[in-house]
């Protein structure tokens, strides 16, 4: 059970002011534990943010301690957020949107930070595969990490747009994450993988060339994972979420500025993830490549300018909902996107000096 500790009350505020002012009052508070529920395991490009955020003190400066818990997909993780057993989750949008379908009970969660602004989910096949389009998947098998994954509804919708029905024309099967899924594709037990772009890049770096199947614009432009919290947490403790989002954003900027340190911090955070054999220098270079790739997609617009940190593109999400409805995946298009995706904390995420964070990261060893 998650327990949130924060010092409040007039007496503490008075003591804080008497001793050293408002800043000392904040520092005097016990660190708030923020438990982040993940639908898939951390990898070097996603986990370094937490590692470097800890090592450079970004989370500590915001008065929070972050713990991560991995669940078997969004279907297993979201009920934990809804029950407030974890503070924050990082799911794809589809399961939350689907809970607002007619006849269902909406999940009591709200997105407050757009962590992956573009669709990271891909359909990838071996480079020499005869499959060149989604329509070519007829009679084939698509591998996903687990059948609880939140990616599956959009994949079914993509198939329906091409006249294919999952379970009839195409099989979606669980193959496990990372290495077990990679092996399933290489051994041709599945014909395509429905993993994120970073995982596919990892498979390519290991020596297996891939080809991505083209997505329609509506699906390609839709954001992937975002941070959610219970609606009561957003209402009652917005500054807790703002502090987390700001620290997380600083860590993203730091990872972009010093990707090598970002990699090394993740390997220190999860020592079992560091490769045990092979060319260490080559492995470090490959890991740095993955971090650079992810940070660029997360932080930068197409022209290289910084995105507005954590902001959701509501018109794009509305187009996605309409496409899911027309594909038969949602039973209504009347889903309150503005209520589900909240941009109210976005100004808080940017309340720091980007250049200062970049300099701090570059100077760190």
Res 22 pLDDT > 50: no
Res 24 pLDDT > 90: no
Res 74 pLDDT > 90: no
Res 3 pLDDT > 90: no
Q: How confident is the model at residue 16 (pLDDT cuts 50, 70, 90)?
A: very low
Q: How confident is the model at residue 142 (pLDDT cuts 50, 70, 90)?
A: very high
Supply the CATH number for residue 163's domain: 3.40.190.10
Q: Are residues 242 and 285 in the same domain?
A: yes
| Residue 138, domain member (yes or no) | yes
Q: Are residues 207 and 107 in the same domain?
A: no
Q: Are residues 198 and 279 in the same domain?
A: no
pLDDT score at 335: 98
pLDDT above 70: percentage of residues in the chain? 92
Over residues 100-121, the pLDDT tens digits come to 999 999 999 999 999 999 999 9
Res 72 pLDDT > 60: yes
Q: Are residues 132 and 59 in the same domain?
A: no
Q: Are residues 151 and 243 in the same domain?
A: no
pLDDT score at 18: 34
Res 39 pLDDT > 60: yes
Res 300 pLDDT > 60: yes
Q: Which range of residues forms the domain containing residue 289?
A: 31-118+224-363
Q: How confident is the model at residue 143 (pLDDT cuts 50, 70, 90)?
A: very high
Mean pLDDT of the chain: 91
Q: Are residues 157 and 102 in the same domain?
A: no
Res 192 pLDDT > 90: yes
| Residue 256, domain member (yes or no) | yes
| Residue 134, domain member (yes or no) | yes
Res 21 pLDDT > 70: no
Q: Are residues 194 and 174 in the same domain?
A: yes
Q: Are residues 38 and 141 in the same domain?
A: no
Segment among 15-19, 204-208, 238-242 with least mean pLDDT: 15-19
pTM of the model: 0.84
pLDDT score at 287: 96
Domain count for the chain, please give it: 2
Q: How confident is the model at residue 30 (pLDDT cuts 50, 70, 90)?
A: confident
Mean pLDDT calculated for residue range 335-354: 98
Q: How confident is the model at residue 13 (pLDDT cuts 50, 70, 90)?
A: very low
Over residues 54-64, the pLDDT tens digits come to 999 999 999 99
Mean pLDDT calculated for residue range 200-213: 96
Q: Are residues 189 and 255 in the same domain?
A: no
pLDDT score at 29: 60
Q: Are residues 228 and 351 in the same domain?
A: yes
Over residues 275-293, the pLDDT tens digits come to 999 999 999 999 999 999 9
Q: How confident is the model at residue 149 (pLDDT cuts 50, 70, 90)?
A: confident
Last residue of a domain, one of 154, 187, 214: 214
Per residue, the 3-state secondary structure of the chain, as one string, reads CCCCCCCCCHHHHHHHHHHCHHHHHHHHCCCEEEEEEECCCCCHHHHHHHHHHHHCCHHHHCCEEEEEEECCCHHHHHHHHHCCCCCEEECCCHHHHHCCCCCCCCCCEEEEEECCCCCCECCEEECCCCCCCHHHHCCCEEEECCCCCCCHHHHHHHHHHCCCCECCCEEEEECCCCHHHHHHHHCCCCCEECCEHHHHHHHHHCCCCEEECCCCHHHHCCCCCEEEEEHHHHHHCHHHHHHHHHHHHHHHHHHHHCHHHHHHHHHHHCHHHCCCCCCHHHHHHHHHHHHHHHHHHHHECCCCCECCCECCCHHHHHHHHHHHHHCCCCCCCCCCHHHHECCCCHHHHCCCCHHHHHHHHHHCC
Res 15 pLDDT > 70: no
Q: Are residues 232 and 209 in the same domain?
A: no
């Amino acid at each position: 059970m998650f327990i949130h500790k924060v010092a409040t009350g007039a007496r503490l505020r008075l003591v804080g002011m008497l001793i050293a002012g408002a800043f000392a009052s904040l520092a005097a508070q016990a660190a708030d534990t923020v438990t982040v529920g993940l639908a898939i395991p951390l990898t070097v490009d996603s986990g370094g943010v937490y590692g470097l955020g800890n090592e450079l003190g970004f989370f500590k400066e915001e008065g929070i301690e972050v713990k991560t818990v991995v669940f078997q997909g969004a279907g297993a993780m979201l009920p934990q957020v809804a029950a407030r057993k974890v503070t924050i989750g990082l799911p794809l949008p589809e399961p939350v949107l689907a809970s607002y379908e007619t006849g269902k009970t909406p999940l009591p969660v709200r997105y407050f930070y757009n962590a992956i602004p573009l669709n990271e989910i891909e359909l990838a096949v071996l480079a020499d595969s005869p499959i060149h389009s989604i329509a070519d998947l007829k009679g084939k098998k698509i591998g996903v990490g687990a059948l609880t994954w939140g990616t599956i509804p959009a994949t079914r919708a993509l198939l329906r747009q091409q006249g294919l029905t999952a379970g009839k024309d195409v099989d979606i099967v669980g193959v496990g994450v990372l290495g077990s899924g990679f092996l399933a594709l290489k051994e041709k037990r599945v014909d395509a993988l429905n993993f994120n772009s970073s995982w596919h890049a990892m498979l390519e770096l290991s020596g297996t060339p891939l080809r991505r199947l083209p997505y329609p614009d509506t699906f390609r432009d839709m954001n992937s994972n975002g941070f959610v919290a219970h609606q009561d947490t957003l209402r009652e403790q917005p500054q807790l979420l703002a502090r987390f989002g700001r620290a997380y954003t600083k860590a993203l900027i730091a990872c972009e500025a010093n990707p090598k340190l970002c990699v090394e911090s993740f390997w220190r955070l999860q020592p079992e993830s560091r490769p045990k054999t092979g060319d260490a220098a080559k492995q470090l270079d490959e890991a740095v490549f993955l971090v650079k790739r992810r940070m660029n997609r997360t932080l930068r617009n197409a022209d290289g300018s910084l995105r507005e940190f954590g902001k959701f593109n509501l018109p794009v999400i509305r187009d996605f909902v309409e496409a899911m409805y027309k594909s038969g995946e949602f039973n209504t298009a009347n889903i309150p996107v503005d209520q589900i995706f909240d941009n109210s904390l976005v100004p808080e995420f940017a309340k720091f000096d980007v250049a200062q964070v970049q300099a701090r990261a570059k100077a760190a060893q």
